[in-house]
Structure 1
Amino acid sequence: MASIHKEQISLFPILLINFIGTLGFSIVLPFLVFLVTDFGGNAIIYGMLAATYPALQLIGAPILGRWSDIYGRKKILLLSHGGTLAGWVIFLIALILPIQNLFSINSTIIGMITLTLPIVVLFFARAIDGLTGGNVSVADAYVSDVSSEENRSKNFGKIAISSNLGFIVGPALAGILG
């Protein structure tokens, strides 16, 4: 009984980390298209920018997972959230930069593509956040570490719920904040 209570207490921080991670990813998506348009981009730029985070997360997740095996889960989770914080600070800086054209190309296939200073900085911010946002593998490893055999699937279900709640609350919160 005491081990189950300890297991439940030790899961809360990881569930919160998972929730915040998916909230941070999903809160941006509803208004990202408007930012890209305001900064001179188009649908192609929006698609590439929206794909930057998960593409870099695909690269970062196995690296962070391996590092968590070597250096410990807590240190890598802190590193991951430090990277997410840095990504958000850079994202906010992009919002106040002047809209200066850096590069344009006109293609008959995909149309005009324009990169402005804020869009390039947004790409950089989303790349850093994605690369260091691969903490799902670390969270899963942590859950596996602290779960008893009989509670493992239930605890992985809790991880899935915390992620899905982040994906639900993020866009809703973005809509409320306007």
Structure 2
Amino acid sequence: MSVEMSSKNEVGAPDRLDWRLMLPLFAVVTLYAAGIGAVLPVLPFYLREMGASPFVFGLVLSTEALSQSAASPLLGQLSDRFGRKRVLLASQMVAVVSLLLLAQAQSILAVLLARFLFGFTAGNFSAAAAYAADNSSAMTRRQAIGVVNAGLGLGGTIGAGFSSILSEISLTTPIYMALALSASGVVVTTFGLNGGKVMGQGADGADREKVSLRAVTSSPVIRVLMVVMLCHFLAYGMYTSQLPIFLADRFVWNGHALGPSEFSYIIAADGVINILVQLFLLRRLGRFFSERRLIILIFALICTGFVSAGMASTIPVLAFAVLCISTGDALAKPTYLAALSVHVSSERQGVAIGTGQALVAVTDIASPVLAGFILGLGLYEAWSGVVVAIAIVGAIIAATRLPRHADPEIAVPAPPV
């Protein structure tokens, strides 16, 4: 399989990140993730107060994922043409509107509309990851995208921590906090990020074809990576989407069922693990593991966590499951997205990463509904078994179909076409 590197001028590129460019981006992503972290713990209970069942909660998440799947590749391609900063600003504005609608919602239908709009903010991460790819070499690509993911982890931790406190006031208070954080993100993006390179509207048809979805998916390696990602995120989505319901039904903390405050602690722990993995573990593992072996390790970790979660009856076992799954997932996204980005040209960064995000969103459409249906029948063991089976399939495909020796970070550039 031939490997197409991300840029012809990366030969001899520096192997260190420019933190003057990365720190403002890190702040933008952290603010965005803090808003998500503030809303996520209260959302299932917000809906439950309106009389929603686990199936309806899954439907709400799927609605958000539906808009995300439609928006991600489009916004990624638009960021290739018009610049990362403009797309970031547009998606942040949509986030402000959607959070305001969510805070004012009086019905499940209004919540559905709010989350549908919020799905369009998927352009935040796609454009941020593409911005990181633009400002890194092939050797530092995984680390650069890891910085973006570390911002997600830190923001999720901060947001969840405040949510656990503010939810004691009311379930809408964390939502208003998320609204304020999103507005702050607009300010940081406006003054902290540079405009970046823009293809412009004058690009001819050949240039536009080079950044099309069809061009990106023409590579056999990209297609295999997408199937592997599909397995990973379908399994992970089935696990995370119904975790609050599973915990509330199966675990007791200080004499009462686990609620939004306790779930906030789990999200905070996941965020801490994410930060530690992105900043300290990812680069070290990248020195010793090829792309293929790292992906197999990721599946091994999440499978161990899924099995432990399904068998858990005590808090320590549950904590071990969260540790394994959070570590695997923290390694996953920068590994997958870096692999996608270094297998395409620099003109395709946005659409490649946006396509990866859309694939995640597609799995998020199906996974909450399927998991909600299974848990709605009280089949906790079946829920765990299906999740593990999907992850095993992904591991087998990665082990048998991905190149054994060609790590994208050290591959030889393909001849120009």
TM range (shorter): 0.7 to 0.9
Counterpart residue number, 1:124 = 113
Counterpart residue number, 1:77 = 88
- AA aligned to 1:131 is F
Counterpart residue number, 1:90 = 101
- The counterpart of 2:72, out of the listed 40, 61, 67, is 61
Counterpart residue number, 2:30 = 19
Q: Does 1:145 align with 2:149?
A: no
Map 1:24-63 to 2 at 5 A. 24-63=35-74
Q: Is contact 2:26–2:147 with CA below 8 Å preserved after alignment?
A: yes
Counterpart residue number, 1:165 = 154
RMSD (Å) for aligned C-alpha atoms = 2.2
Q: Normalised by the size of structure 1, how large is the TM-score?
A: 0.76
- AA aligned to 1:32 is L
- The counterpart of 1:134, out of the listed 123, 127, 152, is 123
Deviations 1:129-168 (A, max 9, x none): 1123332111111111112444333222211211122233
Deviations 1:111-137 (A, max 9, x none): xxxxxxx21111111111112333211
Distance 1:81 1:87, change over 3 A: same
Q: Is contact 2:15–2:139 with CA below 8 Å preserved after alignment?
A: no
- AA aligned to 1:53 is E
C-alpha distance in 1, partners of 2:166/2:126?
31
Count of matched residue pairs: 154
- Between 73-82 and 146-155, report the one with greater CA deviation: 146-155
Q: Is contact 1:83–1:133 with CA below 8 Å preserved after alignment?
A: no
Q: Is contact 1:18–1:136 with CA below 8 Å preserved after alignment?
A: yes
Bigger fraction of residues in strand: 1
Q: Normalised by the size of structure 2, how large is the TM-score?
A: 0.34
C-alpha distance in 2, partners of 1:46/1:130?
15
Higher relative contact order (CA 8 A, sep 6+): 1
Q: Is contact 2:17–2:144 with CA below 8 Å preserved after alignment?
A: no
C-alpha distance in 2, partners of 1:82/1:74?
12
CA-CA distance at 1:4 after TM superposition: 9.4
Q: Matched residues, percent identical?
A: 29
C-alpha distance in 2, partners of 1:48/1:172?
26
Q: Is contact 2:17–2:136 with CA below 8 Å preserved after alignment?
A: no
Structure whose alpha-carbon radius of gyration is higher: 2
C-alpha distance in 1, partners of 2:17/2:145?
16
